[in-house]
Amino acid sequence: MIKTLYQMLVEEFGRLKWWPADTDFEVIVGAVLTQQTRWDNVEKVIARLKGAGLMSPEAMSNVPVAELEMIVKPAGFYRQKARRIRHIAEYFGRNPMEEVFMLPDKVLRSEMLKLPGIGNETADCILLYAAGKPSFVIDAYTRRMCRCLGIEGDYHELQEMFEAALPRDLYVYRQYHALIVEHGKRYCLKKKCESCVVSKLKGIF
């Protein structure tokens, strides 16, 4: 029997607890803060925001950007990110999250894309981890993995490929994304690719 890539990754990494957060708003803020930035760096900022009582649309939208910048600094790109999460806070201050999340998936996605600082990947992270919509996330690690398999394509082409091959299931999408990132952090650096499960899969996928 031929194992799927997903099964092989599960065997190696098991169940992964992914994107721990107390609230959906925290997921969204974290999604923006982690852009091109290590997660452990983002954790400091999230802790600071919580400590300052700012981890809510209402509270954050009333803080001077300058003050947010100081808090966001450890996550890098602090000037843009401070402004962007504040803008997002204002948006959800005007539009209650429960209502926004009730929009049809595609409408919700394009709605998120309108917000400055939210591109394809961040939008899908919001859908998948905050709104609970099965939208497959394509990140840098996913692209590298696909390249290893000889698969090229833009964001939507790769996303369509995964979604067509998988059951449209929230848990599967979340786990697969988590597994790919975990795999990538372990192997997709410094030419460690030779020993990873993806390399064993060439010609089978």
Partner DNA sequence: CTCCAGGAGTGTA
Partner DNA sequence: TACACTCATGGA
**Shortest gap between Cβ of 86 and DNA (angstroms)?**
13
Report the alpha-carbon distance of residue 180 to residue 176 in Å, rounded: 6
Q: Which is nearer to DNA, 50 or 204 (CB)?
A: 50
- Spell out where the chain has E strands: none
Give the footprint of DNA on residues 58-87 (CB under 7 A): 73-74, 76-81
Site residues for DNA, window 82-111 (CB under 7 A)?
A: none
Query: Which position among 37, 48, 59, 101 is part of the footprint of DNA (CB under 7 A)?
Result: 37
| Binder of DNA out of 85, 123, 146, 198 (CB under 7 A) | 123
Shortest CB 27 distance to DNA, Å = 8
Q: What is the C-alpha separation between 73 and 77, in angstroms, rounded?
A: 7
The Cα 162–Cα 168 span in angstroms is: 10
Phi and psi for 104 in degrees, rounded to 5? -55, 145
Contact between 153 and DNA per CB under 7 A: no
The candidate with the shortest Cα–Cα distance to 142, out of 118, 125, 167, is 125
Give the three-class secondary structure for 123.
helix
Nearer to DNA by Cβ, of 15 and 79: the residue is 79
154 touches DNA (CB under 7 A):
yes
If one asks whether residue 35 binds DNA (CB under 7 A), the answer comes out as yes
Q: How many angstroms separate the CA atoms of 196 and 6, rounded?
A: 13
Residues 128-147 that bind DNA (CB under 7 A): 129, 139-141
* Displacement of CA 48 from its chain's centroid (Å): 21
Nearer to DNA, 58 or 105 (CB): 105
Distance, CA of 128 to CA of 113 (rounded, Å): 14
Query: Locate tokens 């400055």: which residue?
Result: 116
- Closest approach of Cβ 150 to DNA, in Å? 17
Binding stretches for DNA (CB under 7 A): 18-19, 31, 34-41, 73-74, 76-81, 115-123, 125, 129, 139-141, 154, 181, 185, 189
